[in-house]
Amino acid sequence: MIDKIKVYIEEVNSFSTNKSDELEAFKNKFLSKKNGIVTNFFNEFRNIPPESKKEFGQVLNNLKNNVEQKYASIKESIEQQADSNIDIDLSLPGENIILGSLHPVTVVRRQILDIFEKIGFVTIETPEIDDDWHNFTALNFPPEHPARDMQDTFFVEKNPDVVLRTHTSNGQIRFMEKHKPPFKVVIPGRTYRNEDISARSHFMFHQIEGLYVNENVSFIDLKETLLFFAKEFFGPKSKIRIRPSYFPFTEPSAEADVTCSICDGKGCNVCKYTGWLEILGCGMVDTNVLENVGIDSKKYSGYAFGMGIERITMLKYGIKDIRYFFENDLRFLSQFQNL
């Protein structure tokens, strides 16, 4: 019996093939659980006389190991051969690598912040989840004030004191509570309103808030700053127009328009044939707001403004629907790659 095994060992050692099916047949012939040669020998084990059991076991194990090694080494060489058989044409052009790009909101946010940083504004970040005091009360929205209805608010966990901020104006309070004038800051961030999604409005969008407080700040400073921004952002020929408006935290309050950059003020469907685009709200910081954060309103005055990033982007590039910003459609996003 041992001699028979040795003959099989010879057979295994001299076996060679480069075909996978022959290799699999070889493996099955020896190792198959049903009727494999090695398996059958193992079944014989109990019939071997005790004095030969040891040698029998060793020789049989040799056979088994040789089969396994042979199988593994031939399998590897067949696989290598398969790899090297693939024709490689080194002259083919490479596949295009598709690079990601910055989101248009990020691109425009940076453009806007860069403009204000040039004239001394410092960018700061403030919380998106805030309390009633910072989002409303300190900004001169008393409880029950109808102006609260202008901004449909999301409350966190039915707690009326914890809100998703409805505007970045909360950042004015957050900053002024901790700093003494003079200061000049811009505050970018996400804002939320409980509104139906449509071409014109979304429940989540982005704003940039500006705030300057110092001695003797006047409305003229505000106008100059906004004109500088308009020319830098929309082009050097831009003009601005200031209209009276109402916000609880500014007095007087205003809205600023810029000449339509799509039609140069001649009238088109983006500016609804008026030649003007409304770009932001602004005004002189209300004395109540300064007092709420412990700043002496007799000594200091300030201006503030706030603009929507999506809105400004839509006006600058003639985008008709705010939903494009949030749908991750590459046909839209890739158009902002080279800005």
Interface with ligand DAH by CB under 6 A: which residues? 167, 169, 209, 247, 250, 281-283, 304-306
CA–CA separation, 186 and 303 (whole Å) = 12
Minimum separation from the CB atom of position 166 to ligand DAH (A)? 7
Nearer CB in complex with ligand DAH: 27/148? 148
Sign for the pseudo-dihedral over CA of 64, 65, 69, 75: positive
Minimum separation from the CB atom of position 226 to ligand DAH (A)? 11
Nearest-5° angle of CA 328, CA 334, CA 339?
A: 125
Minimum separation from the CB atom of position 337 to ligand DAH (A)? 30
Minimum separation from the CB atom of position 281 to ligand DAH (A)? 3
Nearer CB in complex with ligand DAH: 26/247? 247
Nearer CB in complex with ligand DAH: 282/293? 282
CB 257 within 8 A of CB 270: no
Nearer CB in complex with ligand DAH: 38/139? 139
Nearer CB in complex with ligand DAH: 66/135? 135
Minimum separation from the CB atom of position 205 to ligand DAH (A)? 10
